[in-house]
Structure 1
Amino acid sequence: MSGDDTSAVARVVVGVSGSLSSVTALWWATTLARRLGAELWPVLAWEPPGGDAAARRSPAGEWQRPAKQRLAAVLDEVFGAEPAGVPMHPVVVRDSPGRALVRVADRENDVLVVGAGRRGLRRAFSGRVSRHCLAHAICPVLAVPPSPLQSQLLTVHRRNTWHLRIDTRDL
């Protein structure tokens, strides 16, 4: 990405699901888009529960409408009444998250931002989206690590699950 106009970053695409790591990625993506003068493209991927067979039995918009509402709710919670400070183009895509993000970030001068979450005992299954994006995207990918708050919340959750005493002095 050199300084000439033909290779300048035009879009910062970010995966948004409402999870804490996706909100952290959204914050970083917004900051990056602001610095680069790029458009922000928050993407929420959805798949119908029950797969394609369930989707064929339901009206076309039955699953997409809640996905749009979820994306709007996350953006409203993150930005509130304040605009993001960058041109924003929210997108809802019917596909798995990794494939949806790679499909939207389909230009070499895009930057794709994803949360690279760590999930304790489920660590073996976490990070599939970020790994898929790193392996298949044609643009640069920024994998944002979890915030320190997320690590603290996971510790509290784990202790609560095992009914262990929680020391709140460190929180």
Structure 2
Amino acid sequence: MGTVERDEREEALRRVVVGVTGTPGNLAALHRAAAEARVRGAELLAVLAWQSPGGELGSRHSLGPSALAHCRAAAVERLRETLDTAFGAVKPGVALEGLTVRGTPGAALVDVARDTEDLLVVGTGSRTLVRRLVRPSVARYCLAHASCPVLAVPPSPLKAELEAVHRRNAWRVPLDLRELTP
């Protein structure tokens, strides 16, 4: 293998692609992707997929170019806010690039991470029965269709605890103080 080919191969190894949703549960995937990028000496590419209201069919008939530009601008702002929330003043320690892509999340991520040397990181999210019926799993789509390795990151255990607190508050169940002591 020549020097030029080796340099090109090393460049190809230096990209970790992570799906970004803007939800608090996605922070675990973002932080894991940043850690993987640091270990590999790779660039971190945060991708947020967006769709126009009504999907592609709705955008063909009812939305003009200015409405689509507004949707794209909203996606860019959401990506910026998500990365600020995830990393704040403490940057991830690797080269970070953000990208918004118009399309369904799974297909957009698989398309961006099309090189076999990329690493695609996705969050598994909460998969309640209702969510499975309403929204397909992006992680499953990526695992089935990606041409590169896929790392599926489960939600933080703290997320489950937070959801339990929210349910208890919604049902107005009093807090048992014995739960607070170790």
Q: Does the pair score TM above 0.5? A: yes
Q: CA deviation at 1:123?
A: 5.5
**Structure 2 partner of 1:49:** 53
- Look up the match of 1:98: 106
Would you say 1:148 and 2:152 are equivalent positions?
Answer: no
Name stretches of at least 5 consecutive residues in structure 1 with no aligned partner. Answer: none
State whether residues 156 and 166 of structure 1, in contact with CA within 8 Å, keep that contact through their aligned partners in structure 2: no
Kindly provide the CA deviation profile for residues 21-78 of structure 1, in whole angstroms up to 9, marking residues without a partner as x.
2111000000000110001000101111122354342313111000000000111111
2:79 corresponds to: 71
Structure 1 equivalent of residue 166 of structure 2:
157
1:138 to 143, 147, 161: 147
Give 2:121's match in structure 1, choosing from 85, 88, 113.
113
TM-score by length of 2: 0.82
**2:126 maps to 1:122:** no
TM-score (normalised: structure 1): 0.87
CA-based RMSD of the aligned residues comes to 2.3
Q: What's the offset of the Cα at 1:85?
A: 1.2
Matched with 1:61 is 69
Residue 92 of structure 2 is matched in structure 1 by 84
In 2, Cα distance between the equivalents of 1:136 and 1:49?
Answer: 26
Give the counterpart letter for 1:37 in structure 2.
G
CA distance, structure 2, for counterparts of residue 124 and residue 162 of structure 1: 24
SS of 2:97 mapped into structure 1: coil
Verify the 8 A CA contact 1:41 1:88 in the aligned structure 2: yes
Alpha-carbon separation, structure 2, partners of 1:158 and 1:119 = 17
* Bigger helix share: 2
Q: Which moved more, 1:109-118 or 1:123-132?
A: 123-132
1:38 matched to which residue of 2?
A: 42
Query: How many pairs align?
Result: 168
The structure-2 alpha-carbon separation of the partners of 1:167 and 1:42, relative to structure 1 and needing over 3 Å to count, comes to farther
- For 2:127 and 2:176, the matched residues in 1 are separated by 21
Deviation per CA, 1:67-115: give whole Å up to 9, x if none.
Answer: 0000001111111123221111211011111111111111000000001
Measured in 1, the distance between the counterparts of 2:71 and 2:54 equals 11
2:25 is aligned to 21
